[in-house]
Amino acid sequence: MQTFEQIALSAPLQRAVADQGYTTPTPVQAQAIPLVLAGHDVMAAAQTGTGKTAAFTLPMLHHMMQEHVERSHPRRVRALVLTPTRELAAQVEESVRTYGKYLPLTSTVIFGGVGLNPQITKLKRGVDIVIACPGRLLDLINRGAIEFSGLEFLVLDEADRMLDMGFIRDIRKILTRLPKQRQNLMFSATFSNDIKKLASGIMNQPKLVEVARNQTVAKIVQRVYPVGKSNKRALLSKLIKEGEWPQVLVFMRTKHGANRLTTQLDHDGISAVAIHGNKSQNARTKALADFKQGKVSVLVATDIAARGLDIDQLPHVVNYELPNVPEDYVHRIGRTGRAGRDGLAVSLVCHEEEPLLRDIEKLIREQIARVTVEGFGDAAAGGGVPRDREPNHPRPQRNRGQQHQRRRRPAGR
Ligand code: AMP
């Protein structure tokens, strides 16, 4: 297996990677890093949890150092990373700092929901790398607070989600402000037609990297618990208490639902906190910090708020409600099983959600095993699929050979 030393990254980057305890590159890193180092535009299908952030950050930092000359102040922006959410922007910046800790490059993060002025002040001082959400960035561009004449790299992270969230117009406006000569990198969990269309307008003969197309991370065990709608909360509390799940990320479809469930879990004696778009940025940051530090055991999140959350060693994800868009299921369960760790993704599915479940199973080309808990089963849900009788000892459902085959088939959507 390839090691990081075999990829020609500069010594300060190798040191930073070693500090993180990484020994071997993940598949997306092994494929994408050499292509980026060779100067190609790269379009990579890789979901969160595959190590994609390092896959673009490491070679980008390498190039920036090769070309680095002490410039007169202020510095000009040399790399722009666009992300769909504030949390992801913050996490990407954290990764840039982590991997660039032995380099004299500076970075800053730009997103809405917090004051403009501190961001403007930082930009005025000069910064090499900007990680931004499209809306606030456009605002700053229009105010003349940022310009990109020195830009060398554009990265679109989680591009599919940026399209889903309606950022396409903002992105197009931002593109008009960038120099034509630049290296473009685009990461997306899925390669939809819309993504390909977006890419064709941005990228210059991109090299394609596909790691696990529409695939869930291999080590995630998935289970469906058929349950009547009104019994979901009681079943969730029971699973959390009896299953000895120390940290659980629970997905809800709505902000209101997330608030309500958080209160109900509290009543059941389970410490929970909600994270969603109606919360202030400070409340979101605190919720995530409390969860990461183990102060609360359940984080109840909506899809958008949870996007990009990188929580180390998160073993359990619960879909309290299935998402309307099947791709969101892949994103949601990508929260667990991060960086090759084992994970369990449980979905509480009531009768009305059966069509959504079928769409998800079609997308991931896999039938998820059903587990019935006595007294909770929804007789109408989950029919016709083998049932797993060992709720506390789930086992992986597929062997390596099957995965391999599945990966090579085209995505028949
Ligand atoms: P990402 O897909 O970028 O969100 O990364 C997911 C997680 O994988 C993060 O917690 C990284 O710290 C971790 N990671 C990235 N690259 C490696 C690697 N080569 N070996 C082990 N862990 C890694």
In tens, the pLDDT along 193-242 reads 888 888 988 999 999 998 754 444 456 788 999 999 999 999 999 999 88
- The reply to whether 387 falls in a domain is no
Q: Which two tokens stand for residue 308?
A: 């990009």
Share of the chain above pLDDT 70, in %: 82
Domain of residue 75 covers 4-211
- For atom 18 of ligand 1, which residue has the closest CA? 22
pLDDT at residue 109 is higher than 60:
yes
CATH number of the domain bearing residue 286? 3.40.50.300
Residue closest to 220 by CA, chosen among 341, 361, 45: 341
CA–CA dist 378, 158 (Å, integer): 36
CA 397 to centroid of chain Cα atoms: 24
Question: Does one domain contain both 201 and 224?
Answer: no
- The reply to whether 394 falls in a domain is no
DSSP 8-state assignment for residue 229? G
Question: Does one domain contain both 255 and 308?
Answer: yes
Question: Does one domain contain both 277 and 378?
Answer: yes
Domain boundary among 211, 244, 273: 211
- For atom 6 of ligand 1, which residue has the closest CA? 49
User: 233: helix, coil or strand?
Assistant: helix
pTM: 0.62
Question: Does one domain contain both 169 and 281?
Answer: no
| Ligand 1 center from residue 29 Cα (angstroms) | 10
pLDDT at residue 403 is higher than 70:
no
- The reply to whether 395 falls in a domain is no
- For atom 19 of ligand 1, which residue has the closest CA? 25
- The reply to whether 339 falls in a domain is yes
Give the total number of structural domains in the chain: 2
Question: Does one domain contain both 56 and 194?
Answer: yes
Q: How many residues does the chain have?
A: 413
Tens-digit pLDDT profile for residues 62-101: 999 987 665 556 689 999 999 998 888 999 999 999 999 9
339 lines ligand 1 (CB under 6 A): yes
Question: Does one domain contain both 237 and 162?
Answer: no
Question: Does one domain contain both 295 and 333?
Answer: yes
Domain boundary among 176, 211, 246: 211
- The reply to whether 276 falls in a domain is yes
Question: Does one domain contain both 236 and 305?
Answer: yes
Q: What is the mean pLDDT of residues 315-328?
A: 88
